[in-house]
Amino acid sequence: MFIRSENSKVFWLNNISNFIVNHFESTKNQCKIQLAYTENFLVVKGFSSSQDINITHKLHDYIEENDIVKKIGIGCKNIISLLSTKEFKPSLDVSYRYTNGIRPLFLENQTDNNIIECSDLLFGLSLDFKVPYYFGEMMSKDIMKFTKSDNVHLQIKDNELTLDCRSIYKMKDLESCVMDVYDFNFDNFKFEIRDFDFNKEIVEPLSDRPWLNKSKINEFVII
């Protein structure tokens, strides 16, 4: 995922996504949404556990009251909502890639010059969906430091961990080590980060993060 310039449409699409997530979470509902924008058409696609998914008027007000959003060209004359109501549980089967750069989650700055601009999916996820992503970021920082790798691909499927990275260790040994060090208790991790303001992920992506200060690299042992 890229760090977005404040002057880019994607940056503000991410802000609008976060606004929608906060709206649904304020009524204790989950959601998974993504925005697309082109030529004064703003499309909201995804689903929520809420029975009330009519957010068009709220988006209209949010954009109208935000001068910067209007200044960079995101209009609200044509808002198309393709949201649907769906009861769901976030899947624990995940697959993410992290890099050993300015922050495992982010790559270098990226501006938008596309005909259709889309929000970054992460910012359209309610907390239950975000938890595995940030748990993986926490682990990846230690894994890359321990292995001196440039990146790591982390996959969890059927409660089994699979890693792919440059390492002098056998992957099976490294995977076993990581499974021993981390408890993979997503419920506890969710409780720990529940009060974090995730809007900072958009406006201050390189500031301090509590989950990245939980290093367990001293517990890594491979014989």
Give the model's pLDDT for residue 2: 85
Q: Which residue has the higher pLDDT, 168 or 158?
A: 168
The CATH number of the domain where 10 resides is what?
A: 3.30.300.10
Mean residue pLDDT across the chain: 90
Give the highest mean pLDDT range of 39-48, 59-68, 118-127.
Answer: 118-127
Strands (E), 40-135: 41-48, 78-85, 94-99, 107-110, 117-118
Task: Name beta bridge partners: 117.
Answer: 37
Task: Give a yes or no: residue 38 inside a domain.
Answer: yes
Closest alpha carbon to 121 in 42, 23, 10, 197: 10
Q: What is the mean pLDDT of residues 99-108?
A: 86
Task: Give a yes or no: residue 40 inside a domain.
Answer: yes
Which residues touch 9 (CB under 8 Å, ≥6 apart)?
A: 37, 72, 73, 74, 112, 117
Task: Give a yes or no: residue 223 inside a domain.
Answer: no
When divided into structural domains, the chain yields a total of: 1
191 pLDDT more than 80: yes
Task: Give a yes or no: residue 109 inside a domain.
Answer: yes
Task: Give a yes or no: residue 210 inside a domain.
Answer: yes
At 140, is the secondary structure helix, strand, or coil?
Answer: helix
| Domain extent at residue 142 | 2-218
Give the model's pLDDT for residue 3: 87
Give the model's pLDDT for residue 6: 84
pTM over 0.75: yes
Lowest mean pLDDT among 23-27, 46-50, 105-109, 217-221: 105-109
Task: Give a yes or no: residue 7 inside a domain.
Answer: yes
Task: Give a yes or no: residue 144 inside a domain.
Answer: yes
Q: Which residue has the higher pLDDT, 9 or 220?
A: 220
Give the model's pLDDT for residue 49: 95
